[in-house]
A and B are shown apart, each in its own frame.
Chain A
Amino acid sequence: MLFAQIMVNGLLLGGLYGLMALGMALVWGVLNIVNLAHGAVVMLGGYCVYFLFTGAGIDPFAALPIAMVVMFALGYLLQRYVLNLIIRSAQLNTLLITFGLDVVLTYLAQLAFSADFRAINPSYAGANLTWMGVTIPLVRLGAFVTALILAGLLWALLQRTRLGRAIRATAQNLVAARLYGVNPAQLYAVTFGLGAALAGAAGGLYGMVSQVTPYVGAALTAKSFVITIMGGLENPFGILLGGVFIGIAEALAAIYIGPTFTDAISFGLLLLILVARPARSLRGA
């Protein structure tokens, strides 16, 4: 019974992890930017939902789309007017600039919202249902389903729409993208915006199961890294699967190895996977 419960915990948590990594994987795969400010955007999404909930009384799940729009706008502007300026610069420079952005966003959040922690706490936050002796927290279930829906939407967008095809073509090479008649600067900004929107949704959900402070970003960025590497850059559902894998691995490790080993496990797995993969398949990316 404990085992089943642990598996369910890991699965549900993993869905949220996966959603968190989805935006990072999209931006990484298409724009070849490893966005160190990703966690900061997740954090801002959390604040967004928090204020919509406490300030305007909007249900947190209903507030998710609004937060996504706001984060899309932020992501669009960041890419269009900052990141696009250095996109052809050395690869390390994209890491550095997104690190700088992470610092800026974090400290702006600290100035605007203070270091107090904010939990998004709707009346049903602690509700759960029991099924065959396993307790399923409703909010986490909701988060998991949301992750599935958003991954599905992203998949459909990439596969079924003209915009999506242009984005995928960009991932292959920039020249191909021009054939779709899309302005690459615009396309880059839209892609980054989509990534930010997904991060924003993840942030809202994260605030419901945990809490938001200006400083949660770095840990979430690190987690997203691990999952992105696990899931690969190709398929949104692969990313979700990566998240679930890490979620379950951590949940099991906490019980059967020791709760202080969760980080050792997830980062150890990251290292192992990178080292074990055939070198050629990782080259140049």
Chain B
Amino acid sequence: MVRAILLILAVVFLAAAPFFGDAVMIQYGIDALLFATLAQAWNILGGFTGYASFGNSAFYGLGTYGTAIAMAQLHLPFWVGLSLGAFLAVLCAVVIGLPILRLRGHYFAIATLGLSATLAAIISNLDISGRNIGLILPLTRNDVGFYEEALALLVASTLTVMWIAKSRFGMGLIAIREDEDAAQVMGINTTFYKVVALMLSAFFTAIAGGIHAYWITFIDPASAFDLSLNVRMVIMAMFGGPGTVLGPVVGSFILSAVYDALARSISTAAALLFGMVIVLAVIFMPRGLWDLGHGLRQVGWRYFLQNIRLHRL
């Protein structure tokens, strides 16, 4: 109960923030909120079922292009574009999810990566998507509006994950992560569960892509299907705690802030330090902040050494 009240307060605070912060804060906020949504969306499949998708950038790209094609080429309103993007992404999740969700481990990761690269290559050859040149959307001077939309999307995705974590459906997803063969013989329709998780993941990812497209007003295949964006989703979700409700959100807020601070103060070496942070995080806190919190409370700083002892050769 206390937790629920705290969360509601946090959301109210975030919703009110743009009326007190300056324009950069809002801009930074939009980015951070969208990233958190992407991490949370990745978490639905990656965190709960353990299927590490590198194809979320494909859903992001479809959301982006759905919105852009609707607005720039067909002159339809924004919400129609968002729906089109989300529809394309969810459709793609069903069609491609069925065959590739049979693959496990690295093979699944690479197939999803191939999906994203293939879609990017196809989009860059289509006239309706402006080929490799990209599309220009109309300019809107309403960053506060974009901020609130991004926040609403993050809240919606987090509520969805909250429901998953408490539901029978979520229990099924977790069972798949823990042992898929066992989950099957216990009566879980694993294919169905995985595809639904992928669809949910695709849905939120696509909407985030659509909002970002309208905000930034220019998209091209390289930015819409950016693999490094996908890697960032994974890192943020993993850093926070995969398969938890708030881990991915907290993780992505922290990493966004760290990255932003690095990029601002020591510009040139920021990416380098970010790479090192990833390496160190994987070594010393491979299960994310959530686990780190528990671990530190239980065994203190020895938690870090314990991780190495547990995972080294």
Contact = CB atoms under 8 A, between A and B. Distances in A.
A95 B278 CA distance: 11
A86 B234 contact: no
Contacts of A260: 121, 124-125, 131-132
A86 B312 contact: yes
Contact of A34 (B110, B114, B118, B120): B110
A86 B286 contact: yes
Nearest to B287: A90
Contact of A107 (B107, B235, B269, B312): B269
Contacts of A17: none
A275 B111 contact: yes
B113 interface: yes
Interface stretch (A123-131, A237-245, A276-284): A276-284
Given A97-B278, A101-B279, A103-B272, A267 B286 contact: no
Interface stretch (B5-13, B96-104, B199-207, B295-303): B96-104
B312 A85 contact: yes
A274 B111 contact: yes
A84 B117 contact: no
B132 A225 contact: no
Contacts of B278: 96-97, 99-100, 103
Interface string B298-313: 0000000000101111
Nearest to B51: A92
B274 interface: yes
A14 to B, nearest CB: 19
A96 B104 contact: no
A32 B111 CA distance: 17
Contacts of B269: 107, 111
B283 A82 contact: yes
B118 A271 contact: yes
A164 interface: no
B111 A271 contact: yes
A6 interface: no
A132 interface: no
Contacts of A69: none
A99 B110 contact: no
B117 A267 contact: yes
A148 interface: no
Contact of A101 (B235, B275, B311): B275
A93 B114 contact: no
A205 interface: no
Q: Size band of the B side of the interface?
A: 35 or more
A160 interface: no
Contacts of A107: 269, 271-272, 275
B282 A222 contact: no
| Listed residue (B110, B269, B282) with the most chain A CB atoms within 10 angstroms of its CB | B282
B279 A100 contact: yes
Given A85-B311, A86-B311, A222-B117, A92 B125 contact: no
A91 B104 CA distance: 11
Interface string A102-115: 11101110010000
A262 B308 CA distance: 43
Q: Size band of the A side of the interface?
A: 35 or more
Contacts of A271: 100, 111, 114-115, 118
Interface string A235-267: 000000000000000000000001011011001
A74 B113 CA distance: 27
B15 interface: no
A52 interface: no
A100 B275 contact: yes
B52 interface: yes
A28 interface: yes
A15 to B, nearest CB: 23
Contacts of B100: 271, 274-275
Given A96-B235, A103-B271, A274-B111, A184 B282 contact: no
A192 to B, nearest CB: 12
Contacts of B110: 34, 225, 229, 270, 274
A284 B104 CA distance: 6
A87 B279 contact: no
A85 B118 contact: no
Contact of A88 (B114, B118, B310): B310
Contacts of A99: 231, 235, 278
Interface of A: 28, 32, 34, 82, 84-93, 95-97, 99-104, 106-108, 111, 184-185, 188, 218, 222, 225-226, 229, 258, 260-261, 263-264, 267-268, 270-271, 274-275, 279, 282-285
Interface of B: 46, 52, 99-100, 102-107, 109-111, 113-115, 117-118, 120-122, 124-125, 131-132, 227, 231, 234-235, 238, 268-269, 271-272, 274-279, 282-283, 286, 308, 310-313
Given A88-B310, A92-B234, A284-B104, 15 more contacts: A85-B308, A87-B313, A92-B46, A93-B286, A97-B282, A111-B268, A111-B269, A226-B114, A264-B118, A264-B125, A271-B114, A271-B118, A274-B107, A274-B110, A275-B103
The 6 closest A-B pairs by CB, nearest first: A103-B275, A100-B278, A264-B121, A107-B272, A89-B311, A104-B275
6 contacts: A85-B312, A91-B105, A100-B276, A104-B275, A263-B117, A275-B111
